[in-house]
Amino acid sequence: MTPSAAAAVPLAEEERSRFLLQQMVRVRRFEEKCVELYSAAKIRGFMHVYIGEEAVAAGVLANLAPDDAVVATYREHGHALLNGVSAGAILAEMYGVEQGCCRGRGGSMHLFDKATRFFGGNAIVAGGLPLAVGLALADKMAGRSRVTACFFGEGAVAEGEFHESLNLAALWQLPVLFCCENNLYAMGTALARSESQTDIALKAAAYEIPSWHLDGMDVLAVDEGARRAVDAVRNGGGPHFLELRTYRFRAHSMYDPERYREKAEVADWVGKDPIDHLRASLEASGQLSAGQWIELQREVDAEIAQAVEFAEAGTPEPVDQLTRFTYSDRGAS
């Protein structure tokens, strides 16, 4: 079942918890496979994985409808996957073949899919916020009952686009949900070294936007908080802001030597692994049997294996197509 399907059809609490667990495992296994393939030089260029932050995407996207829009940042594999872009299309894009969601032209940092209304993948810090405001403005002007969810890191808070976008969204009461994935480090810069006020939700509240922070390592807390925010935005409550306090377990990118974090700090956060914690809770309450856990992993592993096979069979875009979408075919008037 897709995240949007879960939002459209009410699930029993037990079933929804297992669904959220599966969604997180899908992202984790996909990202682990990407690391493996990158190390084998099958994927090239910059790549930023989402390992550790899975509860954020799983909890928020489970509350969106199929017609809603999602704008993400460059650490967006998990958002694209859980928003309905197939694992094969994402991986093929990272392989740089024409079967990818952007015909291999975007790569890891620039995923896009019109069919699922996934508008990036944006390599510019804070670049997605004004785009989200524009999408939400269009929906409001057209009278459409849609929500635009915009994901970005806390590093975006230092950019002018953050403040301009929140200000306009509040002035025009736009149906946009701002989701700040606060993993404490903007590349290698700790939050306290770049922001005098480290309570990001408080900054958003200064624009008269309902704002609160959530434990981004607890998918059930994210699911509940996101449901409340999405419902409010969809029902005319204007923009809302979630600060999701999370942590990436791996370096900023595959090129990052990661000399700015203490190993003890990383180990402490790894001990808060959202997948391990939800699995343990469900097992302890009798909501997840050993057989169900094995089957869940089997289904996910099969999906990832199929995606690898699809990407491996991909073909590079023909040279005579390289100017497509770049130059107009129309002659000079």
* pLDDT (0 to 100) of residue 309: 98
- 3-state class of 98 per DSSP? coil
Q: Is there a contact between 68 and 148 (Cβ–Cβ < 8 Å)?
A: yes
Domain assignment present for residue 333? The answer is no
Q: What would the two tokens of residue 223 be?
A: 């699911």
Number of domains making up the chain = 1
Instruction: Give the residues across from 245 on adjacent strands.
Output: 182, 215
Which residues, other chains included, contact 59 with Cβ-Cβ below 8 Å and sequence gap of 6+? 20, 219, 220, 221, 222, 223, 225, 226
pLDDT tier, 325 (very low <50, low <70, confident <90, very high otherwise): confident
Q: Is the pTM of this model over 0.75?
A: yes
* Domain enclosing residue 38, as ranges: 3-321
Each residue's pLDDT tens digit, 190-215: 999 989 999 999 999 999 999 999 99
Supply the mean pLDDT for the chain. Answer: 93
Q: Does 4 score more than 90 pLDDT?
A: no
* pLDDT (0 to 100) of residue 191: 93
Closest to 54 in 3D by CA, of 86, 15, 88, 81: 81
Each residue's pLDDT tens digit, 126-156: 999 999 999 999 999 999 999 999 999 999 9
Measured CA to CA, the distance from residue 189 to residue 296 in angstroms comes to 37
Measured CA to CA, the distance from residue 81 to residue 90 in angstroms comes to 8
Domain containing 159 — which CATH number?
A: 3.40.50.970
Domain assignment present for residue 144? The answer is yes
